[in-house]
């Protein structure tokens, strides 16, 4: 199930980039922000800062969802599952 969902997300991201291309600089900025967020999350986990890690992960997911499901993108993902 996890592999199927990861594949679906990857396919959606590739399709989204084809349909709505971004400037390279914009795409790189977004990837750097995501990487920074993940590094902070790892540091918090390693430091045993559970509540802070949970809060950061929730923020990261909200931001990711806002990016990958803007407009009708969320509906596209659901429809691609054959629902």
Domain residue spans of the chain: 2-80
Averages of pLDDT over each 10 residues, the chain, 83 residues: 85 83 86 91 97 95 82 76 64
Q: What pLDDT score does 83 carry?
A: 54
Q: Is the pTM of this model over 0.75?
A: no
Nearest CA-CA partner of 77 in 6, 3, 25: 6
Nearest CA-CA partner of 30 in 43, 49, 44, 16: 16
Give first-to-last CA distance, the chain, whole Å: 16
């Amino acid at each position: 199930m996890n592999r199927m969902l990861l594949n679906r997300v990857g396919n959606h991201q590739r399709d989204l980039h084809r349909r709505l291309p971004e400037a390279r600089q914009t795409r790189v900025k977004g990837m750097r922000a995501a990487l920074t967020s993940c590094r902070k999350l790892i540091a918090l986990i390693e430091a045993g800062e559970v509540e802070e890690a949970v809060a950061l992960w929730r923020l990261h997911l909200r931001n990711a969802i806002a990016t990958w499901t803007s407009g009708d993108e969320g509906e596209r993902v659901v429809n691609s599952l054959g629902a």
